[in-house]
Amino acid sequence: MNQGRSMAIRWGLVLCIFAGIGSLIWLALPEAPASVQQGDYLTEFTLPDVQGAMQSLPKGEVLLLNFWATWCPPCRREIPSMARLYDKYAPRGLNIVAVSVDQRRDDLVSFMQEYRMPFQVLHDADSAVSRQYGVFRYPESFLIGRDGKVIRHLIGAVDWMSEPILRTIDGMLGEAARATDGVKRGDDKAEQG
């Protein structure tokens, strides 16, 4: 009986030691980045385009900000519908910025040529901006209003030509047009007065 009790105490101590070590490791882990969510304001950044020129995000525009990679099958599936969305809505003011987290620029350039991406593509080779946004699942997208506020945060591949997405973008562009018209009408009244 004494030997069984002694063995139980030893196992209890071993478990306590492992639990303590596990707790220390857990506490030492870095905090997960805070992700940008619906209702948050856009976080500014500058990244190189595929030619190496540093680019910032456009301001005062309706924006689709997409984080993706060439090695990501869902990303590859959604790019064609994103290109069609851009073709349809760019004349009305939609801007698309696709941020690639590929490490090799050559992979990115080849992919862009193959898929004929008509919108701006930036290169986040070290994933610093992706981490800043809390992005770690690809693709991940943000629909951003003219005021810089995130309207929708979408995780996973999206059919950008689906009816719910088109309604959302129509609404965002409609609000942008109404805001612009209101400014113009105000200017007209000032000129008349």
**Is residue 84 classed exposed, middle or buried when 0-12, 13-18 and 19+ CB atoms within 10 A define those classes?**
middle
Domain ranges of the chain: 46-192
> Under CATH, which number does the domain 46-192 receive?
3.40.30.10
**Is residue 148 classed exposed, middle or buried when 0-12, 13-18 and 19+ CB atoms within 10 A define those classes?**
middle
pTM (predicted TM-score)? 0.74
Within 8 A by CB and 6+ apart from 5, the residues are none
**Cβ–Cβ under 8 Å, residues 43 and 151:** no
Consecutive sets of 10 residues in the chain, 193 residues long: mean pLDDT of each? 76 76 58 66 91 93 96 94 96 96 91 91 94 90 94 94 95 72 49 47
Reading phi first (left if > 0) and then psi (alpha if -120 to 50, else beta), residue 67 is in beta
Alpha helices in 29-162 (DSSP H): 73-89, 105-115, 128-132
